[in-house]
Structure 1
Amino acid sequence: MSSSDLSALWQAFEMFSPGSKTDVRMFFAPGRVNLIGEHTDYNGGHVFPAALSLGVWAWVRPRQDGIVRFYSQAFPEVVEARVDALDSATGAEYARYPMGVIDVMQKQRSFAFAGGDFFYYSNLPNGAGLSSSAAIEVVTGCAVRVLAGENVSNQEIALISQKAENEFVGVNCGIMDQFAVAMGQANKAIFLNCQTLDHRLVPVALGDYRLVMTNTNKRRGLADSKYNERRAECEAAFARVKHLGDGWANLADIPVDMWSTVAAALADTPNLLKRARHVVFENHRTIEAVKTLSAGDLLGFGKLMNESHVSLRDDYEVTGEELDALAEASWEVDGCIGSRMTGAGFGGCTVSIVAAEQLPTFEAHVKAQYARRTGLTPSFYVSEIGDGAHELQKEAFAQ
């Protein structure tokens, strides 16, 4: 963030919450991109997300009157509520996410929180599948942790944020987004088992390549309904085959060498067979992708990314015309070694690994091909892999 941008944001914050700079704290939580392992999280499988250098900043001024106030530059409406009556508060929809975090922290974790003014700024595109909702949840949790004087880990903040989204907002999300936002590290991705939360940080050495997110700029109108539908289909598929294995707890536990047996049991339900096939092989691909990347084989990793998109397109059927157009145009560019949809699907973004010297060619080709096929104009975001949520030093903003 440039000094001029920071100065303008500080002025906007002071208009929202006048007072001394000395009692204001500033926090940051990144967006995330999932490099591979899509729709495996709620099936108990592995994912491989990374935190971005793009994200959500929060300026927070503590209060002592039991009031919370929220303002976002993306949704310029002040939302005000009492900390002891958040479940009955009204206002802009975005405020439900931070309110949910505060509600869980107070009611279920017994945090003593006296209120605050929360001012949010984001350079993440809204609705693009880069986890802006998880970022605003986690950055709020980090702020409340500090203001309430509680000693909880970033992993606990991630779990609190997921619980808030599930129970307060009413979105039945898995843990991946909040976990990546809270626990990321620069130049590393997180190999996460979503069932056990076992995880390790894996170096991502891109060298002369860059991480590019390409936004379809199409609202993800079908994402929520299809997400719920796919979850139900996966549950139905597993219910039919779980007796075939020893101790299988979910679809992702099914080893690929058992697939022919599982497929035979699902042969009379083609849709369930396809959904299960994606989960089983995507989980396997994710495990293999981490091995491939750890061995320094970036080209092999890119090939697995491409295979992931094909599976999401043909078996899980969550890509749609726009994401397919982006991925297929990306595959045509020399210097793009891998590209796939990331997120829930039906809009949002692709993630690609592109040679730095080919970035102008990549953007020009993908833009032209995408416009030809869809009539839409994509947006491109080149990001580094950054750190997870943290407080910023006052020197960084209180000039």
Structure 2
Amino acid sequence: MEKEFLAGMAKVFEEKFGAQAERRYFSPGRVNLIGEHTDYNGGHVFPCAISLGTYALVRDRADAVTRVYSMNLADKGVIEFPMSGLSYDAAKDWANYFMGVVDVFEKAGYKASHGFDIVINGTLPGGAGLSSSASLEVLMSVILNEAFSFGLPMLEMVKLSQQAENKFVGVNCGIMDQFAVGMGKADCAMLLDCNTLDYRYSKIVLKDASIVITNTNKPHSLASSAYNVRRAQCEHALNELREVRPELKALGELSNEAFEKIAGHIAEQLERQRAHHAVFENNRTLEAVAALERDDVAQFGRLMNESHFSLRDDYDVTGRELDTLAEIAWSLPGVIGSRMTGAGFGGSTVSLVKNDAIEAFKEKVAAAYTERIGYAPSFYVASISEGTHRLD
């Protein structure tokens, strides 16, 4: 399958650029199993890289121009940009993710001495909340690092990729997406402390179950969504808590009990709810990983469901489509747990489903969701992948 996919890309590369590609790469998407909207609150997340992602064919150029073409967005044509002095350009559409990486590398002292011809083709559905943007950013980081022998370790590239999204694209995301995409390991999820960047791999043994991603097919745009508002609300709540706990660096440092004792110092009820989610979701994530590590998949599933309740009721980022998918999933046999994944406001749910129930799950969820929402969802059974790497 991958072989034919890459052969099709090679043909397009020759058509567009009149030469053969020299190198091939794969950069995964990610799904977060639990720990949502905790990353920028200094809490824990539990993501894994997935087998859906972005493939790239690359050839070095002699000049300082890069030309990129996406087979997924063929109508955008070949987009060109210089390898120096870049700023965000809405007309260059998706290429801004690549441009942002080139820019932050240059500002960090890693200047590209030539450009590239690049064709990409992704198996990640856009707008599904599976980190197609981080997939592109880490991909470009790895291409630059290898082409110019910068010698950067993956963790450094992950940080630069996040900077590209924060400073160049203008989405104030935490580190989780780029971290999961870059640091992924087959058959493992990563428990990451976003406050310290301490992490460990945890083997995912689901026995007779699989990870099923269900896309609402409702598009969402992070930059223009309420994402940055939620972040600001949590920062304001943290500042109010610092009046009684000056040493507090992040909401993720609090136990549930410690938070309950001082929550009254957050004046706004809405901000109190946002902070409540950040604290309880962080502790729920630690509990969920412990459950998985002692083979208690059922408890992990229950905590996934609780995560969704909190994202719906305290954080208000689910919306009708995601709630509908989760509610249908909870009612079906063979479903261990189901919750929204990603930033919300559209995107996808992640469900743990018994293997012998997957086909019935797809059929029943599709029928009930289409009836209620008016259009169909899409399904992806994901395996857990390695992080961004060169193929061959």
Q: TM-score, normalised by structure 1?
A: 0.94
Contact 2:222 2:343 in 1 (8 A): no
Contact 1:223 1:345 in 2 (8 A): no
Give 1:291 deviation, angstroms.
0.8
Q: 1:257 to 1:137 in 2, by over 3 A?
A: same
Asked if 1:358 is matched to 2:357, the reply is yes
Distance in 2, Cα, partners of 1:257 & 1:89: 47
Give 1:147 deviation, angstroms.
0.9
Give 1:372 deviation, angstroms.
2.1
Give 1:364 deviation, angstroms.
1.1
Distance in 1, Cα, partners of 2:260 & 2:33: 28
For 1:244-393, what aligned pairs fall within 5 Å after superposition? 244-245=244-245, 247-266=247-266, 268-393=267-392
RMSD value, Cα: 1.5
Give the percent of matched residue pairs that are identical in Structure 1 and Structure 2.
47
Q: 1:249 to 1:75 in 2, by over 3 A?
A: same
Distance in 2, Cα, partners of 1:273 & 1:105: 38
Residue-by-residue CA offset, 1:190-244 (whole Å, 9 max, x unaligned): 1001111110011010111010000000112577431111111111111111233
Distance in 2, Cα, partners of 1:234 & 1:107: 30
Partner residue in 2 for 1:29: 27
Q: Which runs of no fewer than 5 residues in structure 2 stay unpaired?
A: none
Give 1:90 deviation, angstroms.
6.4
Partner residue in 1 for 2:124: 124
Contact 1:73 1:121 in 2 (8 A): yes
Of 34, 37, 40 in structure 1, the residue corresponding to residue 38 of structure 2 is: 40
SS of 1:365 mapped into structure 2: helix
Contact 1:50 1:180 in 2 (8 A): yes
The AA in structure 1 aligned to 2:147 is: L
Give 1:150 deviation, angstroms.
1.7
Partner residue in 2 for 1:172: 172
Residue-by-residue CA offset, 1:367-392 (whole Å, 9 max, x unaligned): 11111221120000001011001101
Residue-by-residue CA offset, 1:281-328 (whole Å, 9 max, x unaligned): 000001111111111111111110000000000010100000000000
Distance in 2, Cα, partners of 1:179 & 1:346: 22
SS of 1:341 mapped into structure 2: strand
Partner residue in 2 for 1:397: none
Give 1:20 deviation, angstroms.
4.1
Give 1:56 deviation, angstroms.
0.4
The AA in structure 2 aligned to 1:329 is: I
Q: TM-score, normalised by structure 2?
A: 0.96
Contact 1:106 1:113 in 2 (8 A): no
Distance in 2, Cα, partners of 1:293 & 1:78: 46
The AA in structure 1 aligned to 2:385 is: G
Give 1:85 deviation, angstroms.
3.6
